[in-house]
């Protein structure tokens, strides 16, 4: 049954996407490790790190698209879950430094020694074990999302109200994590990592492995999302998105559906953050900044809301544009380009790039059958 569900959930675009990402997961390390630096085919390590970052952003975008595109929950605070997952990973990495820190304290990270902390705070216990840290990467964001969602969905907070209080949530967390007495390193955050599971995080092989794992995570998360959406559960989600009151009147427990998918999405965002941290080498409270969360929503909108593939592509495209324009001669003007992109996409491609492409191809072929095949070529969702 599961297999059936999985296969049923894949359409052409999805298959291509899975293949491309899986191929990248293999090709990139090969080009980086197996070719000499002088070769024309050699892929420099900094690009591997960059691609790894994009993969994490793509995963975050998938998690947002799952709730926004298919359940109509617009979270403007998903960066909070991303950052919490990142902090869980960062705490593990900090504990791995051990006596190699400046102050050579076997238990306390350097910043705690520096702030005269005598003992490790309780919430840091256990993070030296990878399985525990791995668990926390899902549990912490998931639990926060569950509690938050429990209250919010039960009292039927929806629409912009929900969006704004998710923003309040991430903003409050940002202010909290900025405080040095919170025990997460304050503004400097967690940095100067050494080992991940015994591998040097700066080694080329580790970077390539992390990249491949990130790609794998994107593929798995994508498949998971497709399965969820293709199942009966997913149909109810779409029903809630399109007419919440009617779904409720039909007897569905709207809160439970929303709560489940919201928590699942938060766990995915947490995983994205956890993969992101060892690749960029730092986690800091500015990841909680509301602007970051809004930007992540914009990736999804640019790529195409409610398409999953589009969300991931949007994340990569916008971030590639950012990388491209923040370097070189355009550096002082890149905000014009980025801002202009958002305006133009909204006005000219209101469905996002992928949906628009699908729409065009569908128009070129026989409109009706193509739309039915996509299954999600829905009318533009409101709100």
Partner 1 sequence: MRDVHGRVAALVFALGLILAGATVAHAGPYEDALAKFTEGSLSDTGDGINGVAVSGNPLAERVLAALKDGRLMFSAEKKTVYIQAKNGKLFDAFTGKPFTGKPPDDIDNVIVNNRLRNVIDADLGALTLMSRNSNRRFDAAQAVFRSRDLSVLPNVEKALAEETDPRTKRALEQARAAILLYDAKSSAADKIAATAVIGDRGDQDSLGLLDGLPPDLPPAVHAAVAAARASIAHTLALWNGVQNAWYGLSLGSVLLLAAIGLAITFGVMGVINMAHGEMVMLGAYVTFVVQQAIRAYDPNLFDYSLAIALPLAFAVAGGVGIVIERTIIRFLYGRPLETLLATWGLSLILQQTVRTIFGPTNEDVGNPSWMSGAFDFGGITITYNRLWIVCFAFAVFLALLAILRYTRFGLEMRAVTQNRPMAASMGIRTGRVDALTFGLGSAIAGIAGVALSQIDNVSPNLGQGYIIDSFMVVVFGGVGNLWGTAVGALTLGIANKFLEPYAGAVLGKIAVLILIILFIQKRPRGMFALKGRTVEA
Partner 2 sequence: MQKSIEAAAKRLRGSRWLTAAGLAVALTLGFMAARPARADDTIKVGILHSLSGTMAISETTLKDVMLMLIKEQNEKGGLLGKKLVPVVVDPASNWPLFAEKARELISKDHVAVVFGCWTSVSRKSVLPVFKELDNILFYPVQFEGEESERNVFYTGAAPNQQAIPAVDYLMSKDGGSVKRWVLEGTDYVYPRTTNKILLAYLKQKGVADADIMVNYTPFGFSDWQTEVSKIKAFGSAGKKTAVVSTINGDANVPFYKELGNQGIKATDIPVMAFSVGEEELAGLDTKPLVGHLAAWNYFESIKTPANRKFIAEWHNFIGNAKRVTNDPMEAHYIGFNMWVKAVEKAGTTDPDKVIAALPGIKVPNLTGGISTMLPNHYITKPVYIGEIRPDGQFDVVWKTKGLVPGDAWSKYLPGSKNYIADWVKLKCGHYGTVTKKCSGSS
Residues that bind partner 2 (CB under 8 A): 4, 7-8, 10-12, 15-16, 19-20, 23-24, 27-28, 31, 41-47, 49-50, 53, 99-104, 111, 113-115, 175, 178-180, 186-189, 191-194, 202, 280-282, 284, 286, 323, 326-329, 331-332, 334-335
The entry of partner 1, partner 2, none near residue 239 (CB within 5 to 8 angstroms by kind) is none
Q: Which among 79-87, 88-96, 164-172, 280-288 is the span making contact with partner 1, rule CB under 8 A?
A: 164-172
Q: Should residue 345 be labelled a site residue for partner 1 when binding is judged by CB under 8 A?
A: yes
**Which residue shows structure tokens 């949530």?**
169
The entry of partner 1, partner 2, none near residue 27 (CB within 5 to 8 angstroms by kind) is partner 2
Q: Which lies closer to partner 1 via its Cβ, residue 20 or residue 294?
A: 294
Q: Which lies closer to partner 2 via its Cβ, residue 128 or residue 191?
A: 191
Alpha-carbon span 188 to 135, nearest angstrom: 25
Angle between helices 159-178 and 290-303 (to 10 degrees): 140
Tokens of 89: 């990973």
Q: Quick one: which of 31, 341, 357, 371 contacts partner 1 (CB under 8 A)? A: 341
Q: How many CA atoms lie within 13 A of 119 on its CB side?
A: 4
Q: Should residue 321 be labelled a site residue for partner 1 when binding is judged by CB under 8 A?
A: no
Catalogue the E-assigned strands of 14-103: none
Residues ≥6 apart with Cβ < 8 Å to 241: 70, 71, 72, 381
CB of 242 to partner 1, least distance (A): 13
Helices (H) and strands (E) in the chain, counts: 16, 4
Measured in degrees and rounded to the nearest 5, phi and psi for residue 144 equal -60, -45
Q: Quick one: which of 343, 364, 368, 369 contacts partner 1 (CB under 8 A)? A: 343
Q: Which lies closer to partner 1 via its Cβ, residue 154 or residue 235?
A: 154
Q: Mapping DSSP to helix (H, G, I), strand (E, B) and coil, where does residue 54 land? A: helix
Closest CA to 130 of 93, 101, 98, 105: 93
The CA-CA-CA angle for residues 298, 301, 303, to 5°, reads 110
Residues that bind partner 1 (CB under 8 A): 74, 148, 151-152, 154-158, 160-161, 163-165, 167-169, 171-172, 175-176, 178-179, 245, 290-291, 294-295, 297-298, 301-302, 332-333, 335-336, 338-343, 345-347, 350, 380, 382-383
């Amino acid at each position: 049954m599961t297999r059936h569900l999985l296969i049923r959930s894949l359409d052409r675009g999805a298959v291509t996407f899975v293949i491309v990402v899986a191929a990248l997961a293999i090709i990139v390390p090969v080009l980086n490790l197996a070719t000499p630096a002088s070769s024309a085919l050699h892929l420099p390590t900094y690009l591997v790190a960059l691609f790894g970052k994009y993969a994490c952003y793509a995963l975050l975008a998938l998690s947002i698209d799952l709730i926004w595109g298919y359940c109509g929950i617009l979270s403007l605070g998903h960066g909070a879950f991303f950052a919490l997952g990142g902090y869980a990973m960062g705490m593990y990495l900090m504990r791995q430094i051990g006596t190699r820190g400046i102050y050579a304290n076997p238990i306390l990270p350097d910043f705690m020694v520096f702030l005269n902390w005598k003992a490790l705070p309780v919430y840091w216990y256990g993070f030296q074990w990878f399985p525990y840290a791995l668990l926390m990467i899902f549990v912490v964001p998931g639990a926060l999302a569950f509690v938050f969602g429990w209250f919010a969905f039960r009292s039927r907070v929806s629409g912009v109200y929900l969006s704004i209080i998710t923003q309040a949530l991430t903003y409050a967390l940002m202010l909290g994590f900025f405080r040095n007495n919170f025990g997460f390193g304050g503004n400097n955050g967690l940095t100067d990592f050494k080992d991940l599971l015994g591998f040097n995080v700066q080694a080329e092989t580790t970077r390539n492995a992390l990249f491949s794992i990130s790609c794998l995570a994107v593929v798995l998360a994508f498949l998971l999302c497709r399965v969820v959406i293709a199942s009966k559960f997913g149909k109810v989600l779409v029903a809630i998105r399109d007419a919440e009151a009617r779904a409720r009147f039909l007897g569905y427990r709207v809160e439970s559906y929303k709560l489940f998918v919201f928590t699942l999405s938060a766990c995915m965002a947490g995983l994205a953050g956890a993969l992101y941290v060892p690749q960029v080498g730092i986690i800091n409270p500015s990841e909680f900044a509301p602007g970051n969360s809004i930007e992540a929503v914009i990736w999804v909108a640019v790529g195409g809301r409610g398409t999953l593939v589009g969300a991931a592509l949007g994340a990569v495209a916008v971030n590639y544009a950012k990388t491209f324009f923040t370097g070189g001669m355009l550096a002082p003007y890149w905000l014009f380009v980025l801002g202009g992109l958002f305006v133009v996409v909204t006005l000219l491609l209101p469905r996002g790039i992928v949906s628009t492409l699908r729409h065009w191809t569908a128009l070129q072929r026989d409109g009706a059958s193509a739309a039915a095949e996509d299954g999600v070529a829905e009318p533009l969702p409101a709100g």
